[in-house]
Chains A and B, each alone.
Chain A
Amino acid sequence: MAAYILRRFVSTIAVMAMVGIFVFLLLRLAPGDPAAMIAGKSATAEMIAGIREKMGLNDPMPVQFIRWVRDMLGGDFGTSIFAGRPVLQLISQRLEPTISLSILTMIVSVTIGVSFGILAAWRAGGLVDRILTAFATLGFSVPVFVVGFFLIYLFAITAHWLPVQGYKPIDHGFGPWLVHLILPTVTLSIPYIAFIARITRASMLEVLSEDYMRTAAAKGASSYSMLFHHALKNAGVPILTVIGLSFAGLIGGVVITETVFNIPGVGRLVVDAINNRDYPIIQGVLILVSGLYVLINLAVDLSYTLVDPRIRY
């Protein structure tokens, strides 16, 4: 197991290096100029050229790349071209909202999604199954921003129960923190609930048709015992895979929700950075997210051993 984990860590570094090269080249080859954005809309070419020179943006690409790699190896992710602050500092300021939203979304999605999936499988073909399947299809199909604005209209503008937008850090109190995250969490959870519910249902249905389930029923096992002790554990691997992929995707996929609900998270940071061509921020965020993605996948792989003792690394 230890050797496996070590191998995976080494491969993580390789993946991050590949992402780094790709992102660096992509940004430099894409049209757009941070110096022009700094200088303002009506700036002259001379002013922009002056800024480019001063910021080292005129240096040959290999020189810029080597400088960047050297700094990265020293733990320096660079300095934002616009804010003039270290990239890691800017990212760390935005991490809490994104992590809060992601974790709450996963808790809600897994709890409800797995429950719906089990329920639908247990009542397969019945009314409950059809209602839940319809919800899953709808939830997966309706765009997040449509759901977001619908919920804002309903619960914030009409009922005045919840805030329209914004984020309160948890050190301002658990209540304000939670209240500001309810609508974004519900909005973002719906497609994940649908996705997890569908996979859980399919996986459970497969297991429920196995011979040993019939045997368990013949031995007089209760429905609860059959569903949760026998079926769910055996259906666990695909469900865990989907949950892991969803969580990893969520980290990079909160952009729209953060934009709709004006949550100052990493997603907003990177979108603003793309608009401004703030290369160091985009590079820093993408490398961290790619590293996180690989680590989450590793955690998912390792978690398989918990639900299936036959799996060994």
Chain B
Amino acid sequence: MTISRRNLIKMGVAAGTAVSIPSILRAQTSPTDARTVRMAMGNALSVYDPIWTATNITADHGLAIYDTLFSLDSKFTSQPQMVEKWNVSEDTKTYTFELREGLSWHDGTPVTAADCVASIRRWGEVSSGGQLIMARANEISKKDDKTFTIVLKEPLGILIDVLADLTPPCLFIMREQDASRPATEQVTTNIGSGPFKFNEALTTPGASVTYDRNERYVPRKQPSDGLAGGKIVKVDRVIWEFIAEQQTALAALQAGEIDFFEQPSADLYPLIESDPNLELQVLNETGNHVCLRINSLQKPFNNVKARQAILHLVDQEAFMRVMDPRNGRPETSIFGEPISNDENTGWYKKGGDPEKAKQLFAEAGYAGEKVVILDPTDIPILDNPSQLLAATLRKIGVNAELAPSDWSAITTRRAKKVPVEEDGWSIFITSEADYSLSNPLGSPLLLANGDNAWYGWPKSDEYEALRAKWADVNTIEDRKALARQMQHIWWDFVGDVRLGKYLSPVARRKTLSGLIGVPVQLVPMWNMQKA
């Protein structure tokens, strides 16, 4: 056989092309460069105004581009952030705040006290803590460009803690022209004074968002501690990708296309742990309570005995096995850290107590009424326990029925106070950050004022009288004592039932380090770096 020179050249070119294709393709898919971090966030960011909406993803956005007057350190203590110094008058009614030097907006103009005053007022329209301040405030005004005051009608011992509160909507400081708009009108300018700048040109709403390091940002001199201290940005760019499919996000993490995966589902943990390049890390060490809300207005749970039956029926360990088998743990306090306590928790029994529950249902006069459990099938961490609850109730003879839907549909139905026959409901399960449950004035789940309470509408005047005292309690010891009294009453009238507490780790490549732990489902982006 003879091979012509032309054929030889053709074969050589073909072979070279074939060999080089993988490397050409690989070049197109090279891992992210060292100064850019790519993060797969849990939800898509479509709203940019962290006051207009209270969703966590928008609060994450707020943490990136805005700054706060105060921040929480790792011990949940409020520390000055934009504020250089502050003082309170002898009658504890006038607070004076002075801003630190070097604060400027992303457009280069300086941050002023007027911006802070307008921001507090706007936040005060929607935040429960802010509303409390506005109700007590006589005047909020600027003294000069760097100084402003809050003058109260009566003392408010928790004022600084409310200003530092991390439960969305948080008090992010916006420009006066933005913050002057009503809280019900969305601000879309995205100009803050925070450590990152929003890069609109590289952003596709709902798909990806790009942030660039704010070169003008002057961090505090104190070392980083929780959200407090110096916010030092160690990367040039952060890109958020909104990857709806969990398997895709994991594959992208394994392939090095992203560095961080915010909310991997529990079934992916073994895969992540088996990959030597990946690591699971819990950023929110205090975790999330899983709360079972009971409709106190309708049969059978308008009878306290029926609510107590649920309290005794629940086997928290079994529920944690279907929610977070690795990190889940029982939770018997209605409060989060640092006021969590064990008051009046004699109902807790490992494995639950179905016999006692049966007896209590009988005492409540239960006669086979339908119990409708709203089941959010699009949220596995809530779907699984809903199904287990239905099965557990049926086992003791309760006529339990699941009403499956997406979460959005539940947000409509849960507001209905009517009987189940008229599209009402009996039970739904939700979750709340442990931290948010440490403030009975801030968390709607801790209300017990009947029709004005959160869904389920629990009512206890005695409990509410104690809750009203919260604003005026100054020391942590006094708050702990008050929390004990409140919890004692809560577990008697059963405002809700806790199924336990779960931790939600993030997954990251080992080359990404310096992530800051916070007690809520938020992800600060300063301090992190790539090897």
Contact = CB atoms under 8 A, between A and B. Distances in A.
Interface of A: 30-33, 36-48, 50-51, 54, 80, 82-85, 90, 93-94, 149, 152-153, 156-157, 159-166, 175-176, 179-180, 259-262, 264, 268-269, 271-272, 275-278
B25 A262 contact: no
A264 B184 contact: no
Interface stretch (B247-255, B297-305, B347-355, B473-481): B247-255
A163 B52 contact: no
Given A36-B415, A48-B415, 5 more contacts: A37-B408, A83-B46, A259-B244, A276-B46, A278-B46
Nearest to B126: A47
B257 A164 contact: yes
Interface stretch (B87-95, B136-144, B157-165, B202-210): B202-210
B432 A161 contact: no
A70 to B, nearest CB: 22
Nearest to B452: A46
B56 to A, nearest CB: 8
Given A36-B411, A83-B206, A166-B257, A42 B436 contact: yes
Contacts of B184: 50-51, 54
B241 A176 contact: no
A25 to B, nearest CB: 17
A50 B54 CA distance: 14
B395 interface: no
B28 to A, nearest CB: 4
Given A160-B255, A264-B208, A275 B408 contact: yes
B257 A82 contact: no
A44 B46 contact: no
Q: Which 4 A-B pairs have the closest CB atoms?
A: A264-B207, A40-B54, A36-B411, A31-B409
Contacts of B28: 163, 175-176, 179-180
B191 interface: no
B216 to A, nearest CB: 27
A271 B444 CA distance: 30
A84 B205 CA distance: 10
B186 interface: yes
B248 A40 contact: no
A257 to B, nearest CB: 11
A80 B46 contact: yes
Given A38-B53, A42-B444, A51-B184, A272 B46 contact: yes
Contacts, number: 158
A160 B26 contact: yes
A262 B507 CA distance: 18
B408 A90 contact: no
6 contacts: A31-B409, A48-B415, A156-B29, A165-B248, A165-B252, A278-B46
B493 interface: no
A44 B431 CA distance: 15
Given A40-B54, A50-B184, A272 B255 contact: no
Contact of A162 (B29, B47, B208, B241): B29
A92 to B, nearest CB: 11
A154 B181 CA distance: 52
Nearest to A80: B46
Contact of A33 (B26, B53, B248, B408): B408
Contact of A264 (B204, B251, B432, B443): B204
A123 B242 CA distance: 48
A180 B25 CA distance: 10
A93 B248 contact: no
Interface string B227-270: 00000000000000111110111011011010000000000000
Given A40-B168, A262-B244, A272 B406 contact: no
B511 interface: no
Interface in B189-229: 204-208
Contact of A262 (B54, B241, B408): B241
Interface in B323-377: none
A284 to B, nearest CB: 14
B470 interface: no
A230 to B, nearest CB: 35
B132 interface: no
B413 A31 contact: yes
Given A39-B53, A262-B245, A44 B444 contact: yes
B54 A42 contact: yes
Contact of A40 (B29, B53, B241, B247): B53
B97 to A, nearest CB: 27
A260 B415 contact: no
Contact of B29 (A43, A48, A179): A179
Contact of A152 (B186, B248, B411): B248
B301 to A, nearest CB: 18
Given A37-B408, A39-B54, A164 B252 contact: yes
A185 to B, nearest CB: 14
Nearest to B38: A166
A9 B126 CA distance: 49
A301 to B, nearest CB: 36
Nearest to B445: A42
A54 B183 CA distance: 10
